[in-house]
Amino acid sequence: MLNRRYLCSFDSRRILHRFTDVAVIGAGAAGLRAACEIAARDSAAVTVIAKGPLQDANTSRAQGGVAAVLMPERTGDSTELHIQDTLASGCGLADKPIAEITIREGVDRVRELIDWGAEFDRKDGAIHFTQEGGHRKPRIAHARGDATGREVLNVLARRVAAQPSIQVCEGAYVLDLITENGRCTGLLTWRNHAGLVAIWARAVILASGGYGRLYRENTNGPHSTGDGAAVAYRAGAELKDLEFVQFHPTALYIAGAERFLITEAARGEGGVLKDAAGVRFMPSYHPMAELAPRDVVARAILDRMNKTSQPMVFLDLTGIGREKLATSFPGILAICRRFDIDPVREPIPVRPGAHYTIGGVAVDSWGRSTLPGLYACGEVAVTGLHGANRLGSNSLLEALVFGRRAALRAIEDIADAPEASRPPALRVATGFKHRDLDVLDMRRSLESLMAREVGIIRTGRQLADARRLLARWSDCVAEVEFGDPQGWELQNMLLVAQLIAESALWRRESRGAHYRNDFPSQDPAFAASLRLSRADGLSPPGASA
């Protein structure tokens, strides 16, 4: 499974073709921001490929906000403090120059959004800022209470729709990147009404999001199945930091219901965590209590659940007040009331869920991957900003900054590249067979395994067991050629899960979002990133960041 190059057989002479200058895979904040930049600066044709409808992008689920030092004179904040908080959260793996680029340029990107029509919430005429865990100052700008991601996505989508050089293809599944002579030259997609379609491009920008759906408990949308990391790996691009999976401490826990995110900003406004007996417990785990870094809060909740033999704890927002809840968290109120919970009067049952995946495609400060012609930005990319643990609300900032930077470099790199006039003759025959498998059952088993053995708290024994079982399952699907996205998603999920387990087993320490019970301390010997590639396999210990 790890050495498989393409997921299906195809003959370029017998499928449909499309030609574009730049193909953008993914229609969240990073992908749309990249498309906007190309359209604004160049006459190049841009094709945005979305796995589902635009509103399904994970960006739309971002509740908390975007971190940016917009009014330092009012909040007592500074970009230097924001940089320091980001580096501290990264636990020794965050890249300082990247943090400086992101946080300094991010201020302009957020102001730009405002110029484009983004309406951030205000108080007394000025933008209202909240504070989240790990931030020493209130610097989180939010929109419509807890609907910041939706506001950002809507603004970018309107701008994309106004550009005639941008074409959006919704409902297109990307099976693989196409490479020729060591360069990414296009991608193979599948659409319900057209079947296989090859899209040829002078540059490909990957902005497809993360792999949170590998876990049973998660706050992600339906499309976060690790496809981007998987297709990049098969094409030869280098991945890194896959072991760092950030679990959000507070996902709504109702048996049988989707795990909706309960934003960290709710704790920033005074929400407190209590166990089943009504005891507030976070002060005994960390001096910042509910505003401790997310990994600390998630592990504390898990520990409390184990001690009380309960599948959840409770987030008490009753002290915030009805008016403030209605103004700041209308989305949370609406979700809770769907399940007959009134946060004004009663606490909300919560437990941790996989939320943000820090690992992905290794890129430089301009979004270039190690595969020529391929760029990456957003959650699928590893810029070095987050290190071992993302600081809350830095992700939208990174998406905006590196969506633009990847686009700028792609424009520069393709300036002299010739346009494709006809599709190259490319024939791929995998030799694999069609076989009936219960894809849904295998996927559920995978999600449960990842939650149980490769979750918030890990041990070497668990990880080794997971690796063996994942290899066995991969063998079951390695010789199967599926004909629909459900099967291809399963193959991608199994591939990425194997790489996560391998990476976590290699990292014999606890650092940031990666916690090993058998190695509970941070080890300077592992102050580096583990890099992975299809050609070289796992790099040995001591691999450079």
- Would you name the residues annotated as active-site residues? 294
The rounded distance, in Å, linking the Cα atoms of 522 and 516 is: 10
- 168 is written with which tokens? 């959006």
Residue at 96: amino acid letter: K
The rounded distance, in Å, linking the Cα atoms of 89 and 101 is: 17
Of 146, 187, 144, 142, the closest CA to residue 169 belongs to 187
* CB-side neighbour CA atoms (13 Å) of 379: 29
User: Mapping DSSP to helix (H, G, I), strand (E, B) and coil, where does residue 483 land?
Assistant: coil
Give the 3-state secondary structure percentages of the chain, helix then strand then coil, rounded to 5: 40, 20, 40
Of 159, 153, 161, the closest CA to residue 62 belongs to 153
- Residue pointed to by tokens 């504390």: 300
- 339 is written with which tokens? 């399940």
Pairing of strands 239-240, 531-533: antiparallel
The rounded distance, in Å, linking the Cα atoms of 216 and 261 is: 14
Alpha-helical runs (H) found in 133-199: 148-161
Helix then strand count (H, E) for the chain reads 14, 23
The rounded distance, in Å, linking the Cα atoms of 32 and 208 is: 11
The answer to whether residues 260 and 248 touch, using CB atoms and an 8 Å cutoff, is: no
The rounded distance, in Å, linking the Cα atoms of 482 and 486 is: 8
Backbone angles phi, psi at 153, to 5 degrees: -65, -40
The rounded distance, in Å, linking the Cα atoms of 264 and 294 is: 9
Give all strands (DSSP E) within 269-402, no chain letters. 272-274, 313-316, 348-357, 360-362, 374-376, 381-382
Backbone angles phi, psi at 10, to 5 degrees: -160, 155
Nearest-10 Cα torsion for 317, 319, 321, 326? -20
